[in-house]
Amino acid sequence: MSIDETEFRNVMGNFATGCTVVTFPDTPPHGMTANAFSSVSLDPPLCLVCVDHDTTSYELLSNGEMESFAVNILERSQQDLAEYFANMTELDEDPFEDRPTTSGVEGAPVFTDSLAYADCTLHAAHPAGDHTIYVGYAEDAEILDEDGDPLTFFRGGWGTTTSE
């Protein structure tokens, strides 16, 4: 029995996730929204992000242009940022212009108003269907806002949760 793609997406949408923007160093300036993100290991410090093969981010990672990336864990007020990077397709615009950023140790932009970030070097890549699972080794990671609430994604919509 084969599951319809839309049905499978709807079922998976019942798992609430956090939202991240993955950014890449150097030129061209680029980033992508990702909710398929997870920690993998504490020793060594590894995390993963899944990237669709039909995206510019996949092109940059798969052709060897990018060997590092930063994962910015978004705060609930950053929905516009998540939407922007979810729809970004052009490489000739600077998506970081007029946004509060600094460079991570590996050179990728870090949004200074996000909850936290992990600055990673590419550790491994594993093809998986229409995506590739990229495993990053966290060279640096920091909590930037200990009191903020996360931006979440559930059933195709944005939300938040609190620790209270």
Per-residue DSSP letters for 84-120?
HHHS---SSS-TTTTS-EEE-TTS-EEETTSSEEEEE
Span 121-160, pLDDT tens digits: 999 999 999 999 999 999 999 999 999 999 999 999 998 9
**∠ CA(69), CA(89), CA(7), 5° rounding?**
90
- The continuous run of DSSP H or E covering 80 comes out as helix 79-86
Least Cα distance to 134 among 66, 82, 81 occurs for 66
Residue with tokens 């590996």: 106
**pLDDT at 92 exceeding the cut of 90:** no
For residue 96, the model assigns a pLDDT of 84
Superfamily of domain 15-144: Electron Transport, Fmn-binding Protein; Chain A (2.30.110.10)
Residue with tokens 């996000």: 114
Find all residues with CB under 8 Å of 59, minimum gap 6, and list them: none
**∠ CA(31), CA(36), CA(42), 5° rounding?**
100
Q: Is 86 exposed, middle or buried (0-12, 13-18, 19+ CB in 10 A)?
A: middle
pTM exceeds 0.85: yes
For residue 36, the model assigns a pLDDT of 94
> CA of 57: how far to CAs of 31, 48, 98, 155, 157, in Å?
7, 14, 22, 24, 23
Span 35-78, pLDDT tens digits: 999 999 999 999 999 999 998 889 888 888 788 999 999 999 99
**pLDDT at 90 exceeding the cut of 70:** no
